[in-house]
């Protein structure tokens, strides 16, 4: 594993308990990261050579989605006549201990199938983390399925299963809980002190994470550096700039709520049909929690109505399984929207400080970021998200010789946070890109040229990505389309010929920001695929990879079809069922196309080898002369051909020899190449009122070769909309007791169709030799860039800079009114 | 109580309590294309057309819709024979997770029944009540505008163009590489 190096090392205090999932330091090594990648010839196809990859193709599940025939978890209810519905009773106080639970009235109600409380036999008492990450888990085991020590308004305490929703609700309401209240703390700065109310006692956490200091409510501390920042800032020829930024607690707000259906089948194996991003991790975690063998748990992912990181977590599954064990019948637990905002997961709100040392001519000698991350009541994804605040944005400026990052991750009595698209990079990108804009302005330098002098290019050995926790590792840059992203973005937004509005009080400005992400967790990913040929020349493709609405299944099909030389329609794809598909780490860290997609490519190549053998046998020509295309095996030399269907029949029903043509592939890698984004925001601000209109978002992305360009654009647009929301929405706010103040989309002020600006997405193609057909990731990088670009645009338009998100008319007005 | 309703052109007698919510009743009756993404009346996923008007089914009681004509997404095309609106969503890759899509398509259907040539702003207003977290609304808006064009062509008797501007299916394994 290469999750972290240098100053980040894990603490493990007890034998046999996995540590915080961090790695052994390694010295940078040039030879280990050759620029020339030993790429297979078939991986680098010119646009004319591609038959399936990067061609327009229908999304494979779209027809069932637009006709309402697709099945999401809740739609499976009709298959289970005995199905009970779940309702969870959650803490009403921010911090305390449950001293008594009176569930007698609930238990006595007609139609109630089970009531569970923390002491029940069906409820595991092992500690765990809800974070769905690899193993050893890099998040602390600090929570239980049902909790006696409650740490936020929303902590689950009891649960009910009943014959229908209403009965479950009534029974839940009839449960009386008596608490002994403790002091609580909501503000992260106040929490980070020995005088603050303490959330975790000495023995309340297993699998503690590096730098934990629970006496000060700190779950982790990380730092990393390259060079000597302190020395650089003391030089006489530099100017030290400092700025501070803050970000919102954003809700994933995926439209399908967390939903799970649990039952035990006729073989006494536990089955979860569940809306998850991480089937294999969930299977492992459930087995651990319920103390059953991994083989006796099956996790099946049907269609998923969006995840965005919120379902990279085992949030609802253990409750449903415990209820179903207690009730001896299948149980469906569908969270409410109110629970989504108050008790599921959200983006870690952070305060990030940026410091730089820059010479008068605009050479950056040092950059430093410090983040204070509010992880809420529990520590899921706390350390790894904070690590990314530094390890994703900072490597972009690989020419800067001295770089340092540090973060403290603290608990408060507020709802839980977790993984969310961008995973720390949006917080870091706001600080870094806002800061650089300010420095460029102070020095009177063009903000783009200032960046260009320091940003990475092909050939760079990026050590910054590996200097601290998160998902990074040292890497060689082998593809980089930043120059073109900027050029095309500038042109699309009209950077050089902006017209000012006629009205005197209106001012228009364009702001920009750059971003880099990664493609998978470097050195900590695995994807696998199998392919079977049918006698009619079609294929069944089984992949562990997880499509949560992104179109991953379609990308798998296109990759397989490209290798096999068949039509995408001839590939039937089956994914994400731990009983029937190979292992996969899951949909997170922008890994699916790159990692699982490469596994698909390898599986298809493995099958193709056998297909060509059969072609050779049937055509009586050497394998070297043969290739596949147009659903045929053909000979370069003679032009003779045999169809895949003929091969399919012959291989299965042939007279002399027979074989089921199978291919398998598994893929893991140390590589995690960065995709890049150049964001432009065009804004008009009213200098009298502070009101503003975002006229347009333009974002150009280098994601290598887009396997399905329209789908890639869709990812960019959705990510940019989410990024826009981060810039203009309050997100989830909490009251003085740490209770989420939003219960539905209206209260959350989700930007609707009329409130969302038009988004122009631009794909800049480069070739990433380590990815399948040149692909790298796309879905996260455009999540990072709107907050800084909009902040920079407002500064350009009316001269004031808003540094704490969201950017609102009131804040602009207040800044304009300042003397 | 038993309620008589016309659902997708078929007369149905559906057993439900008077205050039962229409969205869950329809779902229980097999119309799973009616989705529920909120605690009622906010996300638009449960939008169906009731007596010619697009409405969120979740906030309504069965008693209030007795005798009504209800149209759900299941009334439109089938997978092999999509309605032009559905086809436009597919061709524009306007669908990601798809959870909001039945509601969005029903809103579109009503819009295009009333306005054959809507502006982008009118399209955005028509789908304003439907929350979509995946797409940023960009491709759905393009799809609705294109669907309007297709329906106008249909009613003018113009052959639907087979070469789509965007998307389109790839139905062969391509040409040989040599
Ligand atoms: S479920 Fe009906 S509008 Fe959300
Ligand atoms: S496509 Fe996922 S919510 Fe709209």
Task: Say if residue A810 is exposed, middle or buried (CB neighbours under 10 Å; 0-12, 13-18, 19+).
Answer: exposed
CB A378 within 8 A of CB A142: yes
Instruction: Give the other-Cβ count within 10 Å of B28's Cβ.
Output: 15
Condensed to tens digits (0 to 9), the pLDDT of residues B79-134 reads 999 999 999 999 999 999 999 999 999 999 999 999 999 999 999 999 999 999 99
Please give, rounded to a whole number of angstroms, the shortest distance from the CA of A123 to a CA of chain B. 28
Contact residues, B window 126-145, toward A, CB-based 8 Å cutoff: 127-141
| Residue with tokens 């709520």, as numbered in its chain | A257
The answer to whether the CB atoms of B97 and A758 lie below 8 A apart is no
Using CA atoms in the order A458, A461, A466, A467, what is the torsion angle rounded to 10 degrees? -120
Report the distance separating Cα A672 and Cα A521, nearest Å: 7
Which ligand is the nearest neighbour of the Cα of B134?
2
Give the HSE-up count for residue A793: Cα atoms under 13 Å, Cβ half-sphere. 32
The answer to whether the CB atoms of A336 and B33 lie below 8 A apart is no
Report the distance separating Cα A783 and Cα A768, nearest Å: 21
Report the distance separating Cα A447 and Cα A441, nearest Å: 7
Residues of B in contact with A58 (CB under 8 A): 90-91, 167-170
Phi, psi of A347 (to 5 degrees): -75, 140
Mutate to test the pocket of ligand 2, among B45, B73, B94, B100 (most ligand atoms within 8 A of CB): B100
The answer to whether the CB atoms of B95 and A59 lie below 8 A apart is yes
Structure tokens at A688: 């009298």
Please give, rounded to a whole number of angstroms, the shortest distance from the CA of B120 to a CA of chain A. 10
CB A346 within 8 A of CB A359: no
Can you give the pLDDT at residue A18?
36
> Among all residues of chain B, which has the CA nearest to that of A336?
B39
Residue B133 Cα, ligand 2 centroid: separation in angstroms?
5
CB B34 within 8 A of CB B102: yes
Mean pLDDT of A34-49: 94
- Nearest 5°: the CA angle A411, A416, A418 is 100
Q: Tell me which residue in A256, A567, A634 faces B97 most closely, judged by beta carbons.
A: A256
Q: Which residues pair with A666 in a beta bridge?
A: A528
Mean pLDDT of A39-59: 95
CB A271 within 8 A of CB A263: yes
pLDDT at A383 over 50: yes
Q: Where are the domains of chain B?
A: 1-75, 77-166
Q: Tell me which residue in B96, B125, B177 faces A550 most closely, judged by beta carbons.
A: B96
Structure tokens at A207: 């699998």
CB A738 within 8 A of CB A184: yes
Nearest-CA residue for atom 1 of ligand 1: B36
Mean pLDDT of A567-579: 97
Which ligand is the nearest neighbour of the Cα of B99?
2
Condensed to tens digits (0 to 9), the pLDDT of residues A715-751 reads 999 999 999 999 999 999 999 999 999 999 999 999 9
Structure tokens at A288: 């651990």
What confidence category does residue A202 fall into, taking pLDDT thresholds of 50, 70 and 90?
confident
Cβ–Cβ contact A311 with B under 8 A = no
Cβ–Cβ contact B43 with A under 8 A = yes
Domains (ranges, CATH) in chain A? 48-69+526-667 (3.30.365.10), 80-182+255-306+311-343 (3.90.1170.50), 350-521+671-817 (3.30.365.10)
Condensed to tens digits (0 to 9), the pLDDT of residues A453-467 reads 999 999 999 999 888
Peptide bond into A806 cis (omega under 30): yes
What confidence category does residue A22 fall into, taking pLDDT thresholds of 50, 70 and 90?
very low
Mean pLDDT of A375-382: 98
pLDDT at A602 over 80: yes
What architecture is domain B77-166?
Answer: Orthogonal Bundle (1.10)
Can you give the pLDDT at residue A260?
98
Report the distance separating Cα A240 and Cα A219, nearest Å: 31
Can you give the pLDDT at residue A28?
52
Q: Tell me which residue in B76, B136, B175 faces A718 most closely, judged by beta carbons.
A: B136
Residue B140 Cα, ligand 1 centroid: separation in angstroms?
19
Can you give the pLDDT at residue A19?
36
Mean pLDDT of A653-673: 96
Residues of A in contact with B38 (CB under 8 A): 337, 744-745
CB A126 within 8 A of CB A289: yes
Cβ–Cβ contact A68 with B under 8 A = yes
Angle at which helix B138-155 crosses helix B84-91, to 10 degrees, equals: 140
Mutate to test the pocket of ligand 2, among B73, B86, B97 (most ligand atoms within 8 A of CB): B97
Instruction: Give the other-Cβ count within 10 Å of A640's Cβ.
Output: 16
Residues of B in contact with A253 (CB under 8 A): 131, 133
Residues of B in contact with A568 (CB under 8 A): 170
Cβ–Cβ contact A735 with B under 8 A = no
Report the distance separating Cα A619 and Cα A623, nearest Å: 10
Residues of B in contact with A63 (CB under 8 A): 79, 82, 90
Condensed to tens digits (0 to 9), the pLDDT of residues A413-454 reads 999 999 999 999 999 999 999 999 999 999 999 999 999 999
CB A447 within 8 A of CB A437: yes
Can you give the pLDDT at residue A31?
75
Report the distance separating Cα A545 and Cα A542, nearest Å: 9
Cβ–Cβ contact B65 with A under 8 A = no
The answer to whether the CB atoms of A338 and B39 lie below 8 A apart is yes
Residue A157 Cα distances to A117, A178, A296, A377, angstroms? 6, 11, 27, 14
The answer to whether the CB atoms of A71 and B32 lie below 8 A apart is yes
Please give, rounded to a whole number of angstroms, the shortest distance from the CA of B149 to a CA of chain A. 19
Mean pLDDT of A597-626: 98
Using CA atoms in the order A355, A356, A360, A363, what is the torsion angle rounded to 10 degrees? -160
What confidence category does residue B59 fall into, taking pLDDT thresholds of 50, 70 and 90?
confident
Cβ–Cβ contact A273 with B under 8 A = no
Phi, psi of A530 (to 5 degrees): -130, 150
Residue B86 Cα, ligand 1 centroid: separation in angstroms?
21
Can you give the pLDDT at residue B130?
98
Contact residues, A window 608-637, toward B, CB-based 8 Å cutoff: 627-632, 634, 636
What confidence category does residue A774 fall into, taking pLDDT thresholds of 50, 70 and 90?
very high
Nearest-CA residue for atom 3 of ligand 2: B132
Q: Which residue has the higher pLDDT, B69 or A23?
A: B69
The answer to whether the CB atoms of A66 and B132 lie below 8 A apart is no
Helices (H) and strands (E) in chain A, counts: 19, 28
Can you give the pLDDT at residue A479?
98
- Among A60, A62, A640, most B C-beta atoms within 10 A, so best to mutate, is A62
Q: What percent of chain A has pLDDT over 70?
A: 96
pLDDT at A701 over 70: yes
Condensed to tens digits (0 to 9), the pLDDT of residues A312-342 reads 999 999 999 999 999 999 999 999 999 999 9
Mean pLDDT lowest for which of A112-121, A563-572, A754-763, B151-160? B151-160
What confidence category does residue B162 fall into, taking pLDDT thresholds of 50, 70 and 90?
very low
Domain B1-75 matches domain B77-166 at the CATH topology level: no
Pick from A609, A558, A814, A581: nearest CA to A711:
A558
Mutate to test the pocket of ligand 2, among B98, B136, B139 (most ligand atoms within 8 A of CB): B98
- Write down the ipTM of this complex: 0.95
CB A217 within 8 A of CB A191: yes
Q: Tell me which residue in A64, A632, A717 faces B79 most closely, judged by beta carbons.
A: A64
Residue A532 Cα, ligand 2 centroid: separation in angstroms?
32
Answer whether 0.90 is exceeded by the pTM.
Answer: yes
Residue A526 Cα distances to A31, A125, A388, A583, A588, angstroms? 24, 30, 20, 7, 12
pLDDT at B30 over 90: yes
Cβ–Cβ contact A179 with B under 8 A = no
pLDDT at A578 over 50: yes
Residues of B in contact with A255 (CB under 8 A): 35, 37, 43, 45, 97, 99-100, 131-133
Which residues, 6 or more positions from A222, have their beta carbon under 8 angstroms from its beta carbon?
A4, A7, A8, A210, A211, A383, A386, A387, A405, A406, A407, A409, A468, A469
Sign (positive or negative) of CA dihedral B29, B30, B34, B37? positive
Please give, one letter per residue, the 3-state secondary structure of B12-62: EEEECCCCCEHHHHHHHCCCCCCCCCCCCCCCCCCEEEECCEEEEHHHCEH
The answer to whether the CB atoms of A711 and B131 lie below 8 A apart is no
Strand A364-376 relative to strand A402-411: parallel, antiparallel, unpaired? parallel
pLDDT at A247 over 80: yes
Residues of B in contact with A74 (CB under 8 A): 36
Task: Say if residue A183 is exposed, middle or buried (CB neighbours under 10 Å; 0-12, 13-18, 19+).
Answer: exposed
Ligand 1, residues at Cβ distance < 6 Å: B 23, 36-38, 40-46, 56, 58
Condensed to tens digits (0 to 9), the pLDDT of residues A142-160 reads 999 999 999 999 999 999 9
Q: Tell me which residue in A75, A551, A744 faces B39 most closely, judged by beta carbons.
A: A744
Pick from A645, A629, A633: nearest CA to B173:
A629
Sign (positive or negative) of CA dihedral A370, A375, A378, A380? negative
Report the distance separating Cα A664 and Cα A582, nearest Å: 9
Can you give the pLDDT at residue A45?
96
Which residues, 6 or more positions from A644, have their beta carbon under 8 angstroms from its beta carbon?
A533, A537, A538, A564, A565, A566, A570, A611, A628, A631, A632, A633
For residue A640, the SS3 value is coil
Cβ–Cβ contact A574 with B under 8 A = no
What confidence category does residue A472 fall into, taking pLDDT thresholds of 50, 70 and 90?
low
Name the fold adopted by B1-75.
Ubiquitin-like (UB roll) (3.10.20)
Nearest-CA residue for atom 2 of ligand 2: B97
The answer to whether the CB atoms of B97 and A568 lie below 8 A apart is no
The gap between the terminal CA atoms of chain A, to the nearest Å, is 53
Can you give the pLDDT at residue A467?
84
Phi, psi of A777 (to 5 degrees): -80, 165
DSSP string, A173-194: HH-EEEEEE------HHHHSST
pLDDT at A490 over 50: yes
Average pLDDT, chain A: 95
What confidence category does residue A29 fall into, taking pLDDT thresholds of 50, 70 and 90?
low
| Residue with tokens 């994807």, as numbered in its chain | A527
Average pLDDT, chain B: 91
Report the distance separating Cα A9 and Cα A21, nearest Å: 9
pLDDT at A470 over 50: no
Cβ–Cβ contact A41 with B under 8 A = no
Peptide bond into A208 cis (omega under 30): no
Mean pLDDT of B132-143: 98
Residues of B in contact with A66 (CB under 8 A): 73, 82, 86, 89-90, 95, 98, 101-102, 105
Residue A355 Cα distances to A229, A230, A385, A396, angstroms? 10, 11, 21, 16
């Amino acid at each position: 594993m290469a999750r972290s190096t240098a100053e980040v090392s894990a603490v493990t205090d007890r034998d046999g308990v996995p540590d915080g999932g961090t790695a052994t330091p390694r010295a940078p090594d040039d030879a280990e990261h050759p620029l020339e990648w030993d790429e297979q010839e078939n991986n680098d196809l010119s646009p004319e050579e591609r038959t399936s990859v990067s061609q327009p193709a229908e999304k494979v599940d779209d027809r069932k989605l637009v006709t309402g025939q697709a099945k999401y978890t809740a739609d499976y209810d009709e298959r289970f006549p005995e199905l009970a519905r779940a309702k969870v009773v959650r803490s009403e106080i921010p911090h305390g201990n449950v001293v008594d639970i009176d569930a007698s009235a609930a238990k006595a109600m007609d139609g109630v199938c089970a009531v569970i409380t923390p002491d029940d036999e069906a409820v595991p008492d092992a500690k765990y983390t809800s974070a769905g990450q690899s193993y050893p888990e890099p998040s602390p085991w600090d929570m239980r399925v049902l909790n006696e020590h409650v740490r936020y308004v929303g902590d689950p305490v009891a649960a009910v299963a009943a014959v229908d929703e209403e009965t479950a609700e009534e029974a839940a309401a009839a449960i009386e809980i008596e608490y002994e209240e403790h002091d609580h703390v909501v503000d992260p700065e106040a929490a980070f002190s020995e005088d603050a109310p303490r959330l975790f006692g000495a023995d309340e956490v297993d699998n503690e994470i590096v730098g934990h200091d629970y006496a000060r409510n700190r779950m982790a501390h990380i730092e990393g550096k390259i060079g000597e920042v302190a020395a650089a800032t003391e030089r006489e020829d530099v100017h030290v700039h400092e700025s501070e930024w803050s970000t919102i607690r954003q809700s994933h707000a995926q439209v399908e709520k967390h939903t799970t259906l649990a039952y035990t089948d006729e073989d006494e194996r536990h089955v979860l049909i569940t809306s998850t991003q991480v089937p294999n991790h969930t299977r492992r975690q459930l087995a651990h929690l319920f103390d059953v063998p991994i083989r006796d748990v099956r996790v099946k992912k049907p269609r998923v109505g969006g995840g965005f990181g919120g379902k990279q977590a085992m949030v609802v599954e253990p409750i449903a399984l415990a209820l179903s064990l207690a009730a001896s019948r299948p149980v469906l637990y569908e969270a409410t929207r109110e629970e989504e905002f108050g008790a599921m997961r959200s983006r870690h709100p952070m305060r990030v400080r940026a410091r730089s040392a820059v010479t008068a001519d605009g050479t950056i000698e040092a950059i430093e970021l410090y983040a204070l991350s509010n992880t809420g009541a529990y520590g899921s994804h706390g350390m790894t998200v904070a690590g990314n605040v530094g390890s994703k944005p900072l490597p972009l400026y690989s020419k800067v010789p001295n770089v340092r990052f540090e973060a403290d991750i603290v608990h408060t009595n507020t709802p839980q946070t977790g993984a969310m698209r961008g995973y720390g990079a949006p917080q870091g990108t706001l600080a870094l890109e806002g800061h650089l804009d300010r420095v460029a302005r102070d020095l009177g330098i063009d903000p783009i040229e200032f960046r260009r002098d320091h940003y990475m290019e092909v050939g760079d050995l990026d050590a910054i990505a590996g200097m601290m926790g998160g998902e990074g590792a040292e890497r060689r840059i082998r593809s980089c389309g930043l120059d073109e992203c900027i050029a095309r973005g500038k042109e699309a937004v009209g950077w050089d010929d902006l017209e000012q509005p006629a009205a005197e009080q209106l001012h228009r400005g364009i702001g920009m920001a750059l971003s880099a992400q990664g493609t998978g967790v470097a050195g900590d990913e695995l994807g696998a695929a199998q392919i079977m040929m049918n006698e009619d020349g079609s294929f069944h493709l089984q992949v562990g990879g997880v499509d949560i609405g992104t179109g991953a299944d379609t990308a798998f099909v296109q990759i397989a079809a490209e290798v096999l030389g068949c039509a995408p329609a001839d590939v039937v794809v089956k994914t994400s069922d731990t009983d029937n598909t190979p292992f996969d780490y899951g949909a997170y860290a922008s890994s699916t196309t790159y990692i699982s997609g490469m596994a698909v490519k390898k599986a298809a190549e493995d099958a193709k080898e056998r297909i060509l053998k059969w072609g050779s046998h049937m055509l009586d020509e050497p394998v070297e002369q043969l290739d596949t295309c147009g659903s045929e095996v053909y000979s370069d030399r003679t032009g003779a051909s045999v169809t895949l269907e003929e091969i399919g029949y012959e291989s299965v029903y042939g007279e002399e020899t027979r074989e089921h043509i199978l291919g398998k592939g598994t893929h893991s890698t140390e590589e995690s190449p960065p995709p890049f984004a150049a964001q432009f925001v065009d804004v008009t601000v009213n200098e009298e009122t502070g009101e503003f209109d975002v006229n347009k978002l333009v974002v150009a992305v280098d994601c290598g070769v887009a396997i399905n360009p329209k789908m890639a654009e869709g990812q960019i647009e959705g990510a940019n909309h989410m990024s826009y929301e981060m810039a203009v929405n309050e997100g989830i706010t909490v009251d003085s007791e740490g209770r989420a103040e939003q219960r539905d989309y209206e209260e959350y002020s989700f930007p609707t169709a009329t409130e969302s600006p038009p988004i122009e997405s631009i794909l800049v193609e480069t070739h990433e030799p380590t990815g399948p057909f040149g692909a790298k990731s796309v879905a996260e990088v455009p999540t990072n860039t709107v907050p800084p670009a909009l902040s920079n645009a407002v500064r350009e338009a009316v001269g004031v800079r808003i540094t704490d998100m969201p950017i609102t008319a009131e804040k602009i007005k207040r800044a304009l009114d300042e003397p | 109580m038993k309620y008589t309703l016309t659902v997708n052109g078929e007369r149905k007698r559906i057993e439900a309590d008077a205050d039962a919510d229409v969205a869950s009743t329809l779902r229980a009756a097999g119309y799973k294309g009616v989705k529920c993404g909120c605690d009622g009346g906010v996300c638009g996923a449960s939008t169906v057309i009731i007596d010619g008007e697009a409405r969120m089914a979740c906030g309504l009681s069965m008693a209030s819709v007795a005798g009504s004509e209800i149209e759900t997404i299941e009334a439109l095309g089938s997978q092999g024979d999509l309605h032009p609106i559905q086809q436009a969503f597919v061709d524009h890759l306007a669908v990601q997770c798809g959870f909001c899509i039945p509601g969005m398509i029903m809103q579109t259907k009503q819009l295009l029944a009333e306005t054959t040539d809507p502006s982008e702003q009118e399209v955005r207003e028509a789908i304003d009540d439907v929350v979509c977290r995946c797409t940023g609304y960009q491709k759905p808006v393009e799809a609705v505008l294109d669907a309007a064009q297709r329906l106008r062509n249909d009613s003018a008797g113009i052959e639907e163009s087979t070469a789509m501007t965007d998307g389109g299916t790839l139905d062969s394994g391509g040409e040989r590489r040599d």
